C-alpha cells in the first residue's frame, strides 16, 4: 500500500521547535544536542505521519525521541503533530537516515532504533535503495548502547526475510521474530498509521526485535 495524500498543516502552528533539516547541521553535531537534558535517546527511521513519535513520546516522558524522514511534507506533518501535542521530548529531522547514522550518531549511545514499514522498493533494480542494507545495519550496531534495541516491522515477507538474513550476516544481534500482536481498536494502540491500515485490511505484519550484546529475548 502506498502513502495517501496528507491533510493540510495549519499554517498557524509554530514548527520551529520540532522540525529540523539535516542539511543545516555541521560537524560536530548529534541529535542529543536537540534536547536540554541528559536522557536516553531513541531514533525512528521513516516517521511518516508521526504517530509513533507522538504516542511513544507521550507515554515515555523520561526518554527523548528523534524521527528522521526523507520526504519533507511528511516531516512537516509529523512536526505539526508533535507541536499540537505540546511534546518537549520529540523532534523530527528532514533528511537522509543513512547520512544521520553515518555522520551524526555517536557510538554506543542510542537506546533504540525503530524501523516500521520502510519502502520495500519492489523493483529488482531499486532494491539497493532499501534502508535495511548492510551499511545501515553495521551503523545500527555501532550506535546502539549495550542492550540497545532494533525494532523492524514490515508487511512484505520477502523484505522481512532478506533483512533478517542481513542482520544475521552483518551484526551480532540476538532477537526474536513472530512477535504477538495486540488486539487494537483505537489509533493509540497502533504504532504507525501504516500498521493501522495494514491490519484493518487483514494483512499480515512481520515483526522482529533485536538487542545488542547478546541479550536473549523471551517471547
Q: Which residues are designated catalytic?
A: 119
* Residue 201, burial from CB neighbour count under 10 angstroms (0-12, 13-18, 19+): exposed
CA distances from 129 to 49, 72, 96, 119 (A): 21, 18, 12, 9
Phi/psi at 70 (nearest 5 deg)?
Answer: -80, -20
In terms of phi and psi (left: phi > 0; alpha: psi -120 to 50; beta: otherwise), the region of 48 is left
- Tell me the helix, strand and coil percentages in the chain, rounded to 5: 35, 20, 40
Antiparallel, parallel or unpaired: β 64-69 and 41-45: parallel
Backbone region of residue 213 per phi and psi (left: phi > 0; alpha: psi in -120 to 50; beta: other values): left
Amino acid at each position: 500500500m502506498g502513502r495517501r495524500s496528507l491533510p493540510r498543516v495549519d499554517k498557524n502552528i509554530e514548527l520551529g521547535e520540532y522540525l529540523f533539516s539535516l542539511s543545516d547541521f555541521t560537524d560536530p553535531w548529534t541529535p542529543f544536542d536537540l534536547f536540554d537534558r541528559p536522557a536516553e535517546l531513541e531514533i525512528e527511521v521513516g516517521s511518516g505521519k508521526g504517530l509513533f513519535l507522538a504516542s511513544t513520546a507521550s507515554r515515555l516522558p523520561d526518554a527523548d525521541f528523534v524521527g528522521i524522514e526523507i520526504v519533507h511534507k511528511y516531516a512537516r506533518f509529523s512536526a505539526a503533530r508533535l507541536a499540537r501535542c505540546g511534546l518537549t521530548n520529540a523532534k523530527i529531522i528532514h533528511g537522509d537516515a543513512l547520512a544521520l547514522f553515518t555522520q551524526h550518531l555517536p557510538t554506543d549511545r542510542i537506546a533504540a532504533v525503530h524501523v516500521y514499514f520502510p519502502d520495500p522498493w519492489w523493483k529488482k533494480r531499486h532494491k539497493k535503495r532499501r534502508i535495511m542494507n548492510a551499511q545501515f545495519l553495521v551503523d545500527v550496531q555501532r550506535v546502539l548502547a549495550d542492550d540497545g534495541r532494533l525494532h523492524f516491522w514490515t508487511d512484505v515477507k520477502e523484505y522481512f526475510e532478506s533483512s533478517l538474513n542481513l542482520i544475521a550476516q552483518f551484526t551480532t544481534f540476538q532477537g526474536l521474530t513472530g512477535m504477538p500482536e495486540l488486539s487494537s481498536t483505537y489509533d493509540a494502540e497502533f504504532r504507525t498509521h501504516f500498521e493501522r491500515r495494514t491490519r484493518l485490511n487483514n494483512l499480515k505484519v512481520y515483526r522482529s526485535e533485536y538487542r545488542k550484546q547478546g541479550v536473549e529475548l523471551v517471547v
